[in-house]
Amino acid sequence: MTSDSQVKSENTALPPHKTVYVDTDRVACDGGGGALGHPKVYYDLDQNGEAHCFYCCAHFIKK
Ligand SMILES: [Zn+2]
């Protein structure tokens, strides 16, 4: 069991988008404002309780 040479890069990559946990079926996203902001948009969560922001790729998950 000597597989230490196989170093994965999971600690180096930044997450591609943020994850936001919500408790409603509808979410609003404006990118958080500032330089990363975008026009406020609303999304309905899908049957899996998830939605992705078209603008900033934020990932919404229902708790
Ligand atoms: Zn967004």
Domains and CATH numbers, the chain: 19-62 (2.60.260.40)
The residue-averaged pLDDT of 30-56 equals 91
CA of 35 to the centre of ligand 1 (A): 12
CA of 59 to the centre of ligand 1 (A): 9
Q: Are 43 and 53 in contact (CB under 8 A)?
A: yes
- Element (H or E) spanning 59, and its range? strand 59-62
φ/ψ of residue 35, rounded to 5: -65, -25
CA of 21 to the centre of ligand 1 (A): 13
Q: What is the pLDDT of residue 32?
A: 81
CA of 31 to the centre of ligand 1 (A): 4
Which tokens sit at 9? 């890069």
Say how far apart CA 9 and CA 18 lie, in whole Å.
Answer: 19
Predicted confidence (pLDDT) at residue 5 exceeds the cutoff of 70: no
CA of 7 to the centre of ligand 1 (A): 33
Higher pLDDT, 19 or 32: 19
How many alpha carbons lie under 13 Å from residue 29 in its C-beta half-sphere?
A: 24
Predicted confidence (pLDDT) at residue 4 exceeds the cutoff of 70: no
The whole-model pTM stands at 0.68
